[in-house]
Structure 1
Amino acid sequence: MSEYLVFVLKSEWFNNHLRANTKGSVRQILSFSELKTLTIPLPPLEIQKEIVTKLQTIKNKIKELQLEEEKIKKEIEAYIYSSWTQKTKRYSKRKNLYCIF
């Protein structure tokens, strides 16, 4: 299966396209005859390759940003923890110091 087709089949557009052609409120059904009538945009191969390249670039950027987000979250947690442990030593000498949530 071409990478282009994989992107299309996983897309929100295709998912909405499928839902629009299903029947049933609780258990949605798509008959084989209805499945045969679904259309998928199929540009020339060169355009498909360009689309796939662009989408892969975007996916890679998303992955980079997710990794960066996780790194920053860990830095925040480490800072909060280190800040808390350092300040607790000072505050532990005080009496009647409470935090209510």
Structure 2
Amino acid sequence: SVDTDFLIPEYLAMWLSRQEFDRYARFHSWGSARENFSYEDMKNVQIPIPSIENQKSIVNIFKAYKERIAINEKLKAQIKDICPILIKGSIEEARKAKEA
């Protein structure tokens, strides 16, 4: 649990899910078959903690960014499905214009 007067859980989760933290944890882990990153190691991690207002802003920006990525992926899938139809239609229109 976190002290929500000091740290927003979404901000902490966002920070810990970053690729940079993954690389940090892998570099500081130990073990031969599996990496081990203990709670004691975790206590040594320094996380920049801005004001609550800034944390909220960062979390909101990140959520909007992720939502826009999802919308973009949906649009790309729709365009991919529609593209052959549009190309076929444009070719037919070009033939009609050429004949006229």
**TM bucket normalised to smaller:** 0.5 to 0.7
Q: Identity percentage over the alignment? A: 29
2:79 to 72, 77, 80: 72
Q: How does 1:5-44 map to 2 (within 5 A)?
A: 5-44=12-51
The list of structure 1 runs, each at least 4 consecutive aligned residues, that deviate by more than 6 angstroms after superposition, is none
TM-score, normalising length: structure 1? 0.67
Q: What RMSD in Å do the two structures reach over aligned CA positions? A: 2.2
2 CA distance for matches of 1:40 and 1:65? 31
TM-score, normalising length: structure 2? 0.67
* Bigger RCO of structures 1 and 2 (CA < 8 A, at least 6 apart): 2
- Extract unaligned runs of 5+ from structure 2: 1-7, 89-100
- Extract unaligned runs of 5+ from structure 1: 84-101
